[in-house]
Structure formats: C-alpha cells, structure tokens
Amino acid sequence: MVMFFVVKLKDLFEKQRDYPWQKPDNCPCCNSQRLWGHGFAEAIFDGYDKPLLLKLYRCPDCGCVIRIRPKGYFKRFQARVETIRSSITLKSKSNRWLPGISRTRQGHWFRALKKRIKAYLTETWVKGVVAGFDYLLQLGQVPVSRSI
Ligand SMILES: [Zn+2]
C-alpha cells in the first residue's frame, strides 16, 4: 500500500534517517490507528546521486505495510510528474526531447503513454497525447506505466 505525502527531498537527502516523517493518521487497509515504524526502503530520484530512504510503516492489526512516497512523483518513477509531462509535451509539439534527461528514458515514457492511450482510450481518442496524459492521470492511472 502506498500513500503520497509532501516530502522535502532535499531535507530528506541531508537528514536521512532523522528526517521528520509525518505519520499517517490511520491504516489505509483497516483504519487502525496503531501504526508502527517498519524501517526504510531505498528509492532513486533525479537530482540525487544516492538513494533516498523512504519510511515504511506496518499496521500490527492487519499486517499491511505502508510505503510513503513523495507527492509529485509516480510510483517507481525517478522523475517528477511535471518533468515527464513537459517531455511528452515537447515531443508531441516539436518532436524534440528535454535536455538533461536521457532520450532512452523519455522515449520509454512517450511510447508507454501511446500504448496506454490505445489500450484505455482506444483508437477513437483524437485529443492528442498530452490530453491523454492528463485524462489518464485524472482516472488515477500512471499514464507512462508500461504495465497494462
Ligand atoms: Zn491495518
């Protein structure tokens, strides 16, 4: 189970295990209010050369493990949602990639999005890839996820 909270990545990078995490009020699985710390999970983010430690909680009542992820990032993605969207926008409008991020990664995002639009919004979708990105996002999906 993943919960998205505002996380100051720069502070987290500096403070590591001493970062003041905001504890969820209750377990998202069973609503229990007894959540225990359950260590940390490493995660890579753009702009940081070492993995950051994301806090884990465990609910003693139902056994659910909760991972805290920073708002503004998709699960399993290192780049900000806004950065991914900018890349898609630039590619679709002027057929170029954003500077500073590998073309391979940007190509993966773009192709995954097109595949997903086809799968979920079908061939009848004519509003373009950027609108498709926003629409899938509204549906609660990760628009550039490769698993369909
Ligand atoms: Zn629980």
Each residue's pLDDT tens digit, 104-136: 999 999 999 999 999 999 999 999 999 999 999
**31 alpha carbon to ligand 1 midpoint, in Å?**
6
Residue 104, Ramachandran bin (φ over 0: left; ψ between -120 and 50: alpha; else beta):
alpha
Q: What is the pLDDT of residues 16-70, one digit of tens each?
A: 999 999 999 999 999 999 999 999 999 999 999 999 999 999 999 999 999 999 9
**2 alpha carbon to ligand 1 midpoint, in Å?**
13
**68 alpha carbon to ligand 1 midpoint, in Å?**
15
The residues with which 57 forms a beta bridge, in sequence order, are 37, 66
**33 alpha carbon to ligand 1 midpoint, in Å?**
8
pLDDT range class, residue 3, cuts 50, 70, 90: very high
Question: DSSP state, 16?
Answer: G
**43 alpha carbon to ligand 1 midpoint, in Å?**
24
